[in-house]
Amino acid sequence: MNVIETEGLTRVFTGRPDRGNRLRRSRHVAVDGLDLTVEAGESVGYIGANGAGKSTTIKMLVGILVPTSGTVTTMGLHPLKQRRALARRIGVVFGQRSQLWWDLPVRESFSILAAIHSLTAADERARTAELVDMLEMEEFLATPVRQLSLGQRMRAEVAAALLHRPDLVILDEPTIGLDVLSKQRLREFLVAQRREHGTTLLLTTHDMGDVERLCERILVVDHGRLAFDGTLDGLARTVGARRELVVDLAVATPDLTDVAGAEHVRSDSDGLRQRFAFDPQRMTAARVLAAISERAEVLDLSIAEPDIEDVVREIYRATRR
Amino acid sequence: MRPLTPPARNPYWRFLLAGFRGQSAYPLATLAGLVANATFGVLKGSIMGAAVESSGGELAGYTAGSMAAFVWLGQGLLGSVNLWGGSDLQTRIKSGDVAVDFLRPVSVQASHVLTDVGKGLFGLLPRGLPSVLIGVAIGGMVLPSDPSAYALGLISLLLGIAVSHACIYAVGTSGFWLVESRGVAVFYLSFSGLFAGLYTPIYLFPDWLLTLALLTPFPSMMQLPVDVLSGQVTGVAAWQHLGVQALWLAIVLAVGHLSTRAGRRRLEVQGG
């Protein structure tokens, strides 16, 4: 079954009339004739620059924004007309908005949501216990939401969205502002949920790590149109999503341009710090490092993942040509 | 027949409770509200008391004791009804958080109104009761002797709180069209207190103004419950008061329902 189906989905925002000319209004096409199909069990990363139309698409998918034209069906339902039926089957996390009760303890929020989704008392207990365990929330269950740290709140938000075991989970910037450890914990949880419940996942993100660890399929949106639809490998092939290894050397060293499998990008501080790019599909960081170590003493190193902005920019460049 | 849902599993009961409990998180604000209530109560009480006295001990059916009851019951209700016009719905539409409300398989109107009614009911404890006690202790307020005044008064009070928050919800839905609906709230504020009977009993108004007031839901929020609670109005007249309140409740709920349905299609949730 198709979990998401859109045909010619379009949303145009019209601004207020111009001061000088009352008949002219500013017009912004946020989503432009989007045809999209997502099947059950897929995990899809929906990426694009700010203002590319990601959030607008999601709002139409879940029925909080009316399309200007085109059709959208989510879980086989009409998002606007069948709002409540759809709400029972999807879980949505907006990284910037809270679905928890600000003044009440986290536990209370979960309990109210369980009642909203008509979970039985036994089911509520079992599911809450499972989520508390997997997302390590025991220590702050009794804390009012307004006193949670960002990392704690995001875990609680994700748990709140998944409490009723939705078939489709939509996450809008779920890891924004989280530290590395919190991000990792959240990703592991989402992977486990997919494995156990076959949940379909759709997420927008600015974090390449989210995409690489969570998504099998990537959609890149540009000016409201799909600029890329394929796998992570396909994306890497299209834009050459290379990693960068940065090494700090013990002494100033001439540019190491002869490292096999890696390309010397740049040297700083007279060659004390050198940067190498490599394709993770063909080369491992360890082998690149070994090759460098044969030529110079490495004091410190770091690996930079490509920014999602760079990937998106590359895609835009490739498709606009 | 479907088995009855126990209260704890009924989402609407939980909204009511969440409002009640959420409000208890701010004891300092509640205390400040009580102090302000009491201060203005003393002022209002002296002015209205003087007015009764200067007109020979009776004014529009009020004696010194019943006027004090009007003043202090009204002050006590201030923490439970919303006469200032703003609401959570208003701020949530503006911030876009209302999106979350629409993503729940429940009535958005019922969840908002019940949460606010829950807050209003909580307000009766730390603000309503103390106001009455102050009124009896220092304001010369007379309590009704007939027990039926309390029973009907309680129903009238609940209806008043419900009308107020259902009305505020309907006002808040203007945000679906306007996004920023603070102007509407200010407009509301400029009529609500006067017509609800916050400043003087509406029966002191000239006829045309009284008629105008009775064509709005505002008297149902404060004047009518205060009439019934104080025993100023009894018997058939009290039942009539309840009927008028119930009618207004139905009207403002219907308006809120229809404007939610229409406004939802206009909603443009801002930001991510």
For A177-226, write each residue's pLDDT tens digit: 788 888 888 899 999 999 998 999 999 988 888 888 899 999 999 888 99
Q: Are B229 and B158 in contact (CB under 8 A)?
A: no
Q: What is the DSSP letter of A138?
A: G
Mean pLDDT value across chain A: 88
Average pLDDT over residues B110-118: 97
Q: Is residue B178 within 8 angstroms of chain A, CB to CB?
A: no
Q: What is the pLDDT of residues A240-275, one digit of tens each?
A: 667 788 999 988 888 888 888 888 888 888 888 998
Q: Where in chain A is the domain with CATH 3.40.50.300?
A: 2-238
Kindly state the tokens that stand for B230.
Answer: 């104080």
Neighbouring C-alpha atoms within 13 Å toward the C-beta of A159:
29
Q: What one-character-per-residue DSSP string does B152-201 give?
A: HHHHHHHHHHHHHHHHHHHHHTTHHHHS--HHHHHHHHHHHHHHHTSSS-
Residue numbers in A near B9 (CB within 8 A): 115, 118, 120-121
Tell me the fold of A2-238. Answer: Rossmann fold (3.40.50)
Q: Are the beta carbons of B169 and B89 closer than 8 angstroms?
A: yes
Give contacts of B267 with chain A, Cβ < 8 Å. 64-65
Average pLDDT over residues B105-125: 96
Which residues in chain A touch residue B15, judged by CB atoms under 8 angstroms apart?
A: 112
Query: How confident is the model over B153-177, as pLDDT tens digits?
Result: 999 999 999 999 999 999 999 999 9
* CB-nearest partner of A64 from B14, B99, B271: B99
* Residue A268, helix vs strand vs coil: strand
Q: Which residue of A has its CA nearest to B272?
A: A55
Alpha helices in chain B (DSSP H): 11-23, 27-54, 64-77, 88-95, 98-102, 108-123, 129-138, 147-172, 175-178, 182-196, 207-214, 218-221, 223-229, 235-264
Q: Which residue of B has its CA nearest to A52?
A: B272
Res A19: pLDDT: 59
Looking at residue A20, its pLDDT comes to 59
pLDDT over 70 for what percent of chain B?
Answer: 97
**Which secondary-structure segment (H or E) carries A122?**
helix A121-134
Task: Select the more confidently predicted residue: A41 or A18.
Answer: A41
- Is the predicted pLDDT of residue A132 greater than 90, yes or no? yes
Say whether B22 and A101 touch across the interface (CB within 8 A).
yes
Percent of chain A at pLDDT > 70 equals 95
pTM: 0.87
Which member of B9, B14, B22 has the closest CB to residue A103?
B22
User: Could you tell me which of A37, A16, A5, A11 has the C-alpha nearest to residue A217?
Assistant: A37
Residue in the structure block whose two tokens are 């209003």? B120
User: Which pairing describes strands A217-222 and A225-231: parallel, antiparallel, or unpaired?
Assistant: antiparallel
**Closest Cα of chain B to A311: distance in Å?**
21
A90–B103 C-beta distance less than 8 A? yes
DSSP annotation of A5: E
Nearest to B195 by CA among B81, B89, B68: B81
- B residues 17-46 closer than 8 Å to A (CB): 18, 21-23, 25-26
Q: Are A196 and A185 within 8 A, CB to CB?
A: no
pLDDT band at residue A24 under the 50/70/90 scheme: low
* B264 to chain A: closest CA residue: A64
Per-residue model confidence as pLDDT tens digits over A162-175:
999 999 999 988 88
Percent of chain B scoring above 90 in pLDDT: 80
C-alpha distance from residue B237 to each of A153, B39, B115, B203, B233 (Å): 53, 32, 31, 15, 6
- In the CATH scheme, what is the code of domain A242-305? 3.30.70.100
Residue-wise DSSP of B71-98: HHHHHHHTTTS--S---HHHHHHHHSTH
Q: Are A71 and A8 in contact (CB under 8 A)?
A: yes
Lowest mean pLDDT among A152-161, A228-237, B42-51: A228-237
CA–CA dist A46, A56 (Å, integer): 12
Helix (H, G, I), strand (E, B) or coil at A218: strand
Could you give the strand order of the β-sheet that contains A273-278, starting from the edge strand earlier in sequence? A263-268, A273-278, A243-249, A298-304
Residue A246: C-alpha distances to residues A131, A283, A288, B254 (Å): 39, 15, 11, 65
Q: Give the mean pLDDT of A287-294.
A: 89
Contacts of B118 (CB under 8 A, 6+ apart): B15, B16, B17, B18, B19, B20, B21, B22, B23
In angstroms, the CA B141 to CA A70 distance is 66
Q: Could you tell me the CA-to-CA distances from A12 to A28, A50, B136 in Å, in that order?
A: 6, 17, 62
Sequence-separated (6 or more) residues with CB below 8 Å from residue A73: A2, A4, A5, A6, A79
Residues from A in contact with B at Cβ < 8 Å:
13, 55, 59, 62-66, 80, 83-85, 87-88, 90, 92, 94-99, 101-104, 108, 111-112, 115-118, 120-121, 144, 172-173
- The C-alpha atoms of residue A48 and residue A62 are separated, in whole angstroms, by 19
